Amino acid sequence: MWRGLTQAGLLGVGATLLTGCQYQQLLTLGDMSSAYNREILWMSIPAIALSIIIFVGVSWALFYTVRKFREENNDAAPAQFHGNNRLETLLVAVPVVIVMLLSVLAVRTLARLNPVPQDAEKIDVLGKQFWWNFSYPGAPAAAGGNVTNGNEMVMSTGKWASLTITSGDVIHAFWAPNLGGQRDATPGTQKTWQIQTDRAGAYQGNCNVLCGASHANMRFKVVALPPDRYNTFLTAAQAYRAPTPAPGSAEERGYNLFMQGKPATGALACAACHRVQGTPAAGAAGPDLSFFGTRRTLGAGMWEAFTPQHWEAPQAAAELHAWIKNSPAQKPGSLMPPYDGSTYTLNGKTMKAGLLTDAEIDDIAAYLRSLRLPEEADYWRDVPVVGSNSTVAQGGNP
Amino acid sequence: MTVQPLPQTIAAPRRGAWEVIKDYMMTTDHKKIGLLYIMTSILAFGIGGILAVAIRLQLALPNETFLVGHLYNQVLTLHAAVMIFFFLIPIGLFGFGNFLLPLQLGVRDVALPRVNTFAVWLFIFSLILVITGLWNGGAPGVGWTFYYPLSVDANQTGVSVLMVALILNGIGSLLGSANFAATIINMRAPGMGLWKMPIFTWSIFATSLLQLVSLGGLTAAALVTYLEIKLGLSMFNPGIGGTPILMQQFFWFYSHPAVYVMLLPYLGIAAEIASTFARKPLFGYRVMVYSLLGIVLVSLLVWAHHMFAVGLPESWQIAFAVATLLVAVPTGVKIFNLIGTLWGGRILMKTPTYWLVGFIFNFLVGGITGVSLGMIPFDYQVTMSYYVVAHFHNVMMFGTAFLVFGGLAYWWPKMTGRFLDEKLGLWHFWLFMVGSWMTFLPQYILGLLGMPRRYYTYPAGNFGWTELNFISTLGALTLLAGGLVWVYNMLQSLRRPITASPNPWGGFTLEWTAASPPAPYNFAHEFPRNFPTERPLYDWEKNGEKLIPVDPKTIHLPQDSIWPFMTAFSLLLMGYGLSFGWFTNYTPAGGLQPFFSASPSHVFASVVLYLSIPLFLYSLFKWAGTREYAVPVEHHHLTKYDNGFMGMAWFILSEVGLFGVLIAGYVYLRISGHAEPPAMRPSIWLAALNTLILVSSSFVIHKAEQDHHHGRYTWFRLGLLITLLLGALFMIFQVYEFSLFGTESDWKQNLWQSCFFIIVGLHGLHILIGGTGVALPYYQALTGKMDKYNHGSTAPASLYWHLVDVVWLFIVAIFYAW
């Protein structure tokens, strides 16, 4: 009963562990920078106290009884009594009182947490197999549509972010443990959720309802920025138009492949599924790529590029290349078709993939890398990565 | 097996394997059936356990590649489905239940022995059916919860076979539950009142009730999912206005109570062990029974707590949260009373006692963390994380499963006549105790550290994840070692000679008066008719009352029959056909195609489906044509209703549940404005005519029953024939109406039409089932199997027919008149 006694244990274990590492590295609902988690802690303290009392009391009673009355210690013929009405009434009444108390606690906390805060920043969340789009209904882009980013959500510190969550295919769930709570993304319906933190940082987010082969690879980052930097980001993102590549450059060749594909070898256009703000690319079947060059994660959190060279770093560049070339081979169940001419199965149908040369794939990568917000709007600049003891790129593994 | 010779155990020659298998196929003996459930469940536990170890090996370190993506999802789905539906639910309720319930009630068998044979084989075949999925595309990878729309995702495998297997398993399970309920109401030893029944029997009664009321939810979820895959009929598809969450409502309406199906029988086992090994009466027997019934009631009102993160209206969430917390009260009472039972006793510390004490301690922690999950804001944080994984393993794996081991150790001498080795038993216990905590305590912490469940991989470098996952895997290997010790212990024991006396532990309930293992007729004695408390053996010894010897030669038992087995087998074939084939080559995406243009496996399965139908009917009629007893016997039952009627009456509870769930779903979709009838819809006039036909048929069959009662057999036969003809007429109109409506508009595009076909179609299927049911006594009457003493299956068939009629009246109201 009565609340995570394990959580109490965790606080102890956590305190010990914390001596060896920094608090901000803890990836957990114990992150007290979030108003949501603070509210839960307030609710939890009496509950944990009750849990400990009950756990200690009942297990003491159990072990005391077994010790005192085991045959080795008690060879008297046992009294054949059938119960004790007064005691039994008490043993029903006490849990009833505790349950009532806990109900009041839970409902009170719920009432404080569930209403949408008035000045909350609205963000629309769309989950699909196996990626996320975060768009800002209050921030229309000059180039049309709303500011949208794939797999990385930027929010302001100190202010509630009010999320409207939905799904484009199966059920997913949005969960960023440090920021408070989760909500399912259900197709055909929109649900709201609120998260908040006081501390700037990049936080881990997870899809939390089994959604298919790459459920474990449907992660996202929430980057919380101080209000002024957040505003800078949003203003720049609204004004943003994808840069026009220089004639004859690799980026330009990549741009052309991105927009038109290569019909001669059956390679589909990236633009059919992806949107890039300020270009004709307006596909909605895949994540938004408008700020791809600014992003530090690939494949919905499968790879991270936290070195100073970002996607130019050899390892990250190799990952990006492999990803474009054959995405399902890198990420199980990925719905992006391969570009290596292989045969692949999708939705029960076996198909032949289009073919791009390695040089062509590199051209597309070069174009993607060029899709960057201005330097001052780079939301990753000087942001600590919370919950991970490393800020360098992680080796992904298919 | 009509007239029993002397106990066969004395000099039974060693039988060949085929003889033994044939015996188990044909047996009606509740003990053999119980052992079949237990053996199958232990096998399933082994399969599920190995899958669990595979999961832990994949997660031992970050970025492993042992089980990736869909393969991992298949393993986790099978692990959960096998553990839940083929181990924890059946072994307690049906394994221990079948073996012990008649023994504890002091009777010779359950109310409907042949239905029991049918049910156990249906259970075994549903496990086999799930396994056939492995070479028909693969196992399902949707989780045992098969949430919509992942379940109909085009990249999924094996979902239809899981749906069919769950429905078949469900039918077996309901028949078993109805059988128990009928046995308890109709067949206790003379003098044993309901309030003098052993607590384990009460727990089986409570669990059976819960199954009967709630299982319809799972059947509804599985059926609608299946129909969408095969025919495109949907109540959940958001594309046509359906609600995916409705599937979760259906599913959890059963699957939360299922948690208590996986708890209550074990609470009964715990109480029996506590009382026997403390050598004391139960502390507060009546309170314990009330808390069992209290759990049944409250557990039906908490299902939505699995769905807090969905974002249901707040008033719903609060109501379900309070109900969830409230479950702690009767559950707490159980724990207090178990400790109270031990208090003041002279506790014999044997293996069963260790499992009991281990259970109480573990369950206490599982209960506390369970209550924490009822506190919604905390639930929002940790639901679907490893915290939840640890919690439900805490209450099941190292909660109730501990009592599977404890119960087996306790009744092992009764079941086999031998003892399990104490030393090995303690090794098993301590390996499981340590292994469980090593496996799952890290998982609690992982949940709080933000690790989601059902992730096949995780990145390196997340705080604490790598270390905790590694410890958890070491724990799983410890559990594997414990499991091997257990299996070794059981196999070793079976090689030893039979030495157990009837009552080796000094138990107080009637099963301890039978031989160990019991003779086929259970008791070579009758009991005194005086039951002062739930511990008759203690009371009788104190009062000096003696058992009354009976000559086993005068005992008659039901005769063996292969036909229940064959009927179940034909359903396995039918299930195979329905899973991997269909009556035609129809797919929702491709429409109707020529039959032989389908894949060979589809054609094969469809042919199997067609062949299974005559086999099913043949077996069923042969079964109905074989008398239960070879010689006329006087059936005694405690109520004025015969066992067939009683069993059917309980079974009907489950039909009410099934239609109730589906109709509630439809009414919700209709009221919320999602399901609007198309302009062209089936006319009320044909429905009114059909109502007239069906209602008249109800009167006719009632009259036929009266005729049989008064010995007017010709009129009786005529009445049944007219009932059948009226049923056929109804079906003809119904088929006409369906064909017309199916061509008028597209059911894949209209939610109302989809609901209509699902629910009215399910009723049509019930007409077919009910019609077959009525045909059975007609066949029995034609072949002279009925007379003054043999009523055949008239009463249950007629009762079922009335049910089908009543459901039709509801359907007319909500689909034709509304």
pLDDT in tens, B351-387: 999 999 999 999 999 999 999 999 999 999 999 999 9
Q: What pLDDT band is residue A21 in, cutting at 50, 70 and 90?
A: very low
Instruction: Pick the residue from chain A with its C-alpha nearest to B242.
Output: A188
**Average pLDDT value over all residues in chain B:** 94
Question: Which pLDDT belongs to residue A8?
Answer: 54
Is there a contact between A321 and A361 (Cβ–Cβ < 8 Å)? yes
Smallest CA-to-CA distance from B638 within B97, B205, B28, B181 is with B181
The answer, yes or no, to whether residue A308 has pLDDT greater than 80, is: no
For B762-800, give the DSSP string. HHHHHHHHHHHHHHHHHHHHHTT--SSS--TTHHHHHHH
pLDDT in tens, B601-632: 999 999 999 999 999 999 999 999 998 888 87
Q: Kindly report, residue by residue over B22-79, the tens digit of the pLDDT.
A: 999 999 999 999 999 999 999 999 999 999 999 999 999 999 999 999 999 999 999 9
Q: What average pLDDT does the segment B523-544 reach?
A: 94
Rounded to whole angstroms, the Cα distance separating A6 from A12 reads: 10
Express the helix, strand and coil content of chain B in percent, nearest 5 each.
70, 0, 25
The alpha carbon of residue A222 is apart from the nearest alpha carbon of chain B, in Å, by 14
Supply the pLDDT for residue B604. Answer: 96
Reduce the DSSP state of residue B71 to 3 states and report it.
helix
Examine the pLDDT at B562 and tell me if it is beyond 80.
yes
Exposed / middle / buried, residue B774 (Cβ in 10 Å: 0-12, 13-18, 19+): buried
Listing DSSP states for B570-633 in one string gives: HHHHHHHHHHH--SSEEETTTEEE-GGGS-HHHHHHHHHHHHHHHHHHHHHHHHHHS-SSSS--
CA–CA dist B356, B634 (Å, integer): 42
Using a CB–CB cutoff of 8 Å, tell me whether A164 touches chain B: no
Mean pLDDT of B560-564: 95
Q: What is the pLDDT of residue B12?
A: 54
Instruction: Give the burial string for B412-421 (b: 16+ CB within 10 Å, else e).
Output: bbbbbbbbbb
The pLDDT assigned to B786 comes to: 80
Q: What is the pLDDT of residues A380-391, one digit of tens each?
A: 988 888 876 554
At A17, is the pLDDT very low, low, confident or very high (cuts 50, 70, 90)? very low
Confidence tier at B11 by pLDDT (50, 70, 90): very low
Mean pLDDT in residue range A292-312: 88
Contact (CB, 8 A) for A277 and A290 = yes
Q: What is the mean pLDDT of chain A?
A: 89
pLDDT (0 to 100) of residue A394: 37
Chain pair A-B, CB pairs under 8 angstroms? 337
Kindly give the residue spans of alpha helices, DSSP state H, lying in chain A.
5-18, 35-69, 85-113, 227-239, 250-260, 314-325, 327-330, 358-369
**CA nearest B179: which of B289, B94, B87, B264?**
B94
* Beta carbons of A71 and B349 less than 8 Å apart: yes
- CB-nearest to A348 from B154, B242, B318 is B154
Tens digits of residue pLDDT in B390-421: 999 999 999 999 999 999 999 999 999 999 99
- Please tell me whether residue B818 adopts helix, strand or coil conformation: coil
Side-chain-side CA neighbours of residue B519 (13 Å): 24
Give the distance from CA B375 to its chain's centroid. 30
pLDDT greater than 60 at residue B2: no
Which residues between 279 and 338 in chain A have a beta carbon less than 8 angstroms from any beta carbon of chain B? 301, 332-333
pLDDT at B84 over 70: yes
User: Hey, is the C-beta of A171 within 8 angstroms of any chain B C-beta?
Assistant: yes
Query: Which pLDDT belongs to residue B755?
Result: 96
Q: Nearest-5° angle of CA B275, CA B279, CA B281?
A: 50
Looking at residue B628, what is its pLDDT? 87
- Percent of chain A whose pLDDT exceeds 90: 73
**pLDDT at residue number A388:** 64
Maximum CA pair distance of chain A?
100
Query: pLDDT of B691-739, one tens digit each?
Result: 999 999 999 999 999 998 888 889 999 999 999 999 999 999 999 999 9
Report the 10 Å Cβ neighbour count for A83. 18
Q: Which residues in chain B touch residue A113, judged by CB atoms under 8 angstroms apart?
A: 377
Determine the residue type at B656: V
Token readout for B428 is 């098993």
Handedness of CA A89, A94, A100, A106 (dihedral sign): negative
Q: Which residues on chain B are in Cβ contact (under 8 Å) with A396? A: 63, 459
Selection from B733, B726, B810, B814 nearest residue B770 by Cα: B726
Q: What is the pLDDT of residues A75-122, one digit of tens each?
A: 888 988 888 889 989 989 999 999 999 999 999 999 988 888 888 999
pLDDT digits (tens, 9 = 90+) for B200-255: 999 999 999 999 999 999 999 999 999 999 999 999 999 999 999 999 999 999 99
Give the pLDDT mean for A263-282: 95
State both tokens at B726.
């009226």
Per-residue pLDDT for A6 more than 80?
Answer: no
Contacts of B242 in chain A (CB under 8 A): 188
**Interface mutation target, options A48, A70, A92, A210, chain B, most CBs of B under 10 Å:** A210
> Does A310 score more than 90 pLDDT?
no
- Mean pLDDT along residues A348-377: 94
Percent residues over pLDDT 70 in chain B: 98
Band of pLDDT at residue A26, cut at 50, 70 and 90: low
Greatest Cα pair distance, chain B, in angstroms, is 83
Interface of A with B in 250-279 (CB under 8 A): none
With CB atoms and an 8 Å threshold, state whether A3 touches B325: no
- Is residue A29 predicted with pLDDT exceeding 90? no
What is the residue type of B361? F
Token pair, residue B789, equals 């003493």
Whether residue B13 has pLDDT greater than 70: no
Q: Which of A181, A387, A397 sits opposite B65 (nearest CB)?
A: A397
CA dihedral B688, B694, B697, B699 (to 10 degrees): -70
Q: What is the pTM of this model?
A: 0.94
Name which of B242, B321, B445 is nearest A103 (Cβ-Cβ). B321
C-beta atoms of B462 and A387 within 8 A:
yes
Higher pLDDT, B692 or B464: B692
**Cβ(B99)–Cβ(B91) below 8 Å:** no
Q: How far is A298 from chain B (nearest CA, A)?
A: 13
Give the single-character DSSP code of A246. Answer: P
pLDDT of residue B338 exceeding 50: yes
CA distance B515 to chain A (A): 27
Residues 200-219 of A with CB under 8 A from B: 204, 206-217
Distances (CA, A) of A258 to A280, A342, B38, B523: 10, 20, 61, 82
Among the partner residues A44, A187, A214, nearest to B238 by beta-carbon distance? A187
Per residue in B107-140, pLDDT (tens digit) is 999 999 999 999 999 999 999 999 999 989 899 9
Write out the H or E segment, with its range, that includes residue A205. strand A201-207
Distance from CA of B256 to the nearest CA of A (A): 18
φ/ψ of residue A21, rounded to 5: -150, 175
Task: Indicate the Cα dihedral angle A116, A118, A122, A128, nearest 10°.
Answer: 0
